[in-house]
Amino acid sequence: MKTKVIEKVADIPDKRARNKRRASGFTLIEFLLVMAIIGLLVAVIVPRAQRARIDAEFAEVRQSGSEIAANIMTWAETQARNQPAILNYTTKDFLNSDIYLPELDFTNLKLSSKYTGNQAFAGVKKLLPPGRRPRNPFNLVDYFAAVNDDQVAREDSFAPAPDVSSAETTVVPSKKPGLLYLAVLPDPVDENYLNFYLLYTAKVSVDAETGSWYGEMSHKDINGLRHGIFVARLYDEQEDGALAANLADWRRKNQGPR
């Protein structure tokens, strides 16, 4: 009798050890629950981290756009200041008109309604040393390189502008992200002024019909324009900046081959 009691008492530690080993493992339900929690955390964290990265890249686009905007104005003001005395083009003209200065063998393709990679921005490009030129964070290419000019890359991106003659066109936003585009609209309070802003593109999706500007930017209305990067508000005092004595030559050059 005593032997049996002793054996039963001796079995107790072994049972406790087995129960402890059994309790220290995961059951299938526990394992699935842990995996579900991890999956939920990944589903929440990864999109937010990706969104934060994209927002940081667009913040870099805005910073680069502000620097380019300052250089655009420096270039236009310098051109207006250094033009021949017989001419009277304004800073506004150098941004928004096709100007021909035969005395200097100079041709200015207007900067407005063009992406920064367009050849019209060659003068602005020269103001920035190669090592200091801002880059599009989405393709890591110099903003003044042709690859950032979707006006050339997308010849089908032109559509008739609303409320204007069919001869005038407006650029459809690019499907590439981070491109900078100089947009211009008359001021809604005083139409003698023109508002210039740099807008930047957002979508990458190839199935988007037109792509889109970032945020609430738009080149069609003043509220959307003001969500872009301010460049200048300039007085539009003349249809062109030539003196009266040069208007005949101006008209001839405008009507002739370009």
Q: What is the pLDDT of residue 135?
A: 96
pTM of the model: 0.71
Residue 74 lies in a domain: yes
CA distance 30 to 25: 10
State which H helix or E strand residue 196 sits in. strand 193-200
Give Cα 2 to chain centroid, integer Å.
90
Q: What is the pLDDT of residue 192?
A: 87
State which H helix or E strand residue 204 sits in. none
Residue 249 lies in a domain: yes
Residue 16 lies in a domain: no
127-132 contacts at long range (C-beta below 8 A, 24 or more positions apart): 127/71, 127/74, 127/75, 128/71
Q: What is the pLDDT of residue 230?
A: 97
Residue 208 lies in a domain: yes
Express each pLDDT in 197-217 by its tens digit.
999 998 765 444 456 899 889
Residue 101 lies in a domain: yes
**Residue carrying the six token digits 């008209």:** 251
Span of 85-89, 141-145, 239-243 with lowest mean pLDDT: 239-243
Ramachandran category for residue 30: left, alpha or beta (phi over 0 → left; psi -120 to 50 → alpha): alpha
The span from the first CA to the last CA of the chain, in angstroms, equals 119
CA distance 4 to 54: 74
Full domain range(s) for residue 218: 32-255
Using the predicted structure, report yes or no on whether residue 195 has a pLDDT greater than 50: yes
The count of structural domains within the chain is 1
Residue 19 lies in a domain: no
Express each pLDDT in 128-174 by its tens digit.
998 899 999 999 999 999 999 988 766 555 555 444 444 345 567 88
Using the predicted structure, report yes or no on whether residue 237 has a pLDDT greater than 80: no
Residue 13 lies in a domain: no
Q: Does residue 199 contact residue 228 with C-beta atoms inside 8 Å?
A: yes
Sign of dihedral through CA atoms 86, 88, 94, 96? negative
Question: Residue 185: how many CA atoms within 13 Å on its side-chain side?
Answer: 20
Average pLDDT value for residue range 228-234: 95
The amino acid occupying position 139 is N
The larger pLDDT score, comparing residue 36 to residue 158, is at 36
Q: Does residue 106 contact residue 96 with C-beta atoms inside 8 Å?
A: no
Strand partners, 230: 197
The CA–CA distances, whole Å, from 193 to 84, 187, 188, 234 equal: 25, 5, 9, 5
Residue 24 lies in a domain: no
Ramachandran category for residue 16: left, alpha or beta (phi over 0 → left; psi -120 to 50 → alpha): alpha
CA distance 156 to 173: 11
| % of the chain with per-residue pLDDT over 90 | 38
CA distance 251 to 121: 24
The CA–CA distances, whole Å, from 62 to 55, 178, 202, 230 equal: 11, 9, 12, 10
The three-state secondary structure class of 2 is: helix
The pLDDT-based confidence of 74 (bands split at 50, 70, 90) is very high
